[in-house]
């Protein structure tokens, strides 16, 4: 193999590898954030058990947003609640399709302040799957969560008195695949 051919092959492999890494970066970043709580991303529970009441309370504020392109009304049933740290909790959000056609949406989520993200753990959430609402349909969507008692031992997070759980719904692209 000539030196020119070897250089061209290495350049091709480098470009191919960089393109592959670019496509993989978003899913890898999402997994990293969910595992570590980085950037206020809530952790996902392994199993459905919460550690148990740690004897301290924290306020959780529930926020709901939607893209202007999604013809839904979306709001939390309760906008704020005091919860026991370590105890399993459930919050409900209501969504109503205001259009005359079925619409599918998907929710993104975040927790603020960012230091609390690694301690806010979701057991079950409507945000894990796409939601399809028929014309005029209204549904209540639950999120089951707990605040990990380890927050009380973290100097950067133990003085947090309020956590905000925020969702934003976006329409799922209705175009058929392959078009």
Cα separation, 124 vs 142, in Å, equals 8
Instruction: Give the model confidence (pLDDT) of 10-50 as tens digits.
Output: 877 777 777 766 655 545 555 555 555 454 455 555 655 66
Instruction: Write down the CATH number for the domain with range 40-171.
Output: 2.60.370.10
pLDDT at 32: 56
pLDDT value at residue 14: 76
Residue 22's pLDDT is 65
User: For the whole model, what pTM was predicted?
Assistant: 0.71
pLDDT (0 to 100) of residue 179: 42
Domain ranges of the chain: 1-36, 40-171
Distance CA 95, CA 140 (A): 6
- Counting as low any pLDDT under 70, the low residues of the chain are 20-52, 174-179
Q: For residue 3, what pLDDT is reported?
A: 85
Predicted local confidence at residue 49, as pLDDT:
66
Spatial CA neighbour of 95 closest among 123, 110, 76: 76
Q: What is the pLDDT of the chain when averaged over all its residues?
A: 84
**CA dihedral sign, ordered 167, 168, 171, 177:** negative
- In this prediction, residue 177 carries a pLDDT of 47
In this prediction, residue 151 carries a pLDDT of 93
Rounded CA-CA distance 135/98 in Å is: 7
* Beta bridge mates, 121: 43, 146
Strands 131-133 and 138-147, bridge-based pairing: unpaired
């Amino acid at each position: 193999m000539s030196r020119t051919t070897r250089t061209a092959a290495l350049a091709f492999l480098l470009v191919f590898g960089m393109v592959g890494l670019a496509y993989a970066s978003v899913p890898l970043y999402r997994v990293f954030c969910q595992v570590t709580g980085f950037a206020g991303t809530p952790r996902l529970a392994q199993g459905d058990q919460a550690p148990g009441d740690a004897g301290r309370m924290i306020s959780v504020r529930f926020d709901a947003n939607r893209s202007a392109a999604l013809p839904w009304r979306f709001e939390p049933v309760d906008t704020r609640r005091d919860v026991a740290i370590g105890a399993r909790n459930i919050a409900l959000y209501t969504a109503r399709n205001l259009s005359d056609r079925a619409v599918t949406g998907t929710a993104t989520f975040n927790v603020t302040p960012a230091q609390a993200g690694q301690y806010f753990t979701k057991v079950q959430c409507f945000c894990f799957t796409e939601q399809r609402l028929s014309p005029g349909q209204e549904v209540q969507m639950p999120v089951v969560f707990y605040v990990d008692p380890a927050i009380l031992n973290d100097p950067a997070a133990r003085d947090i008195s309020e956590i905000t759980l925020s969702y934003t719904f976006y329409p799922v692209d209705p175009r058929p695949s392959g078009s």
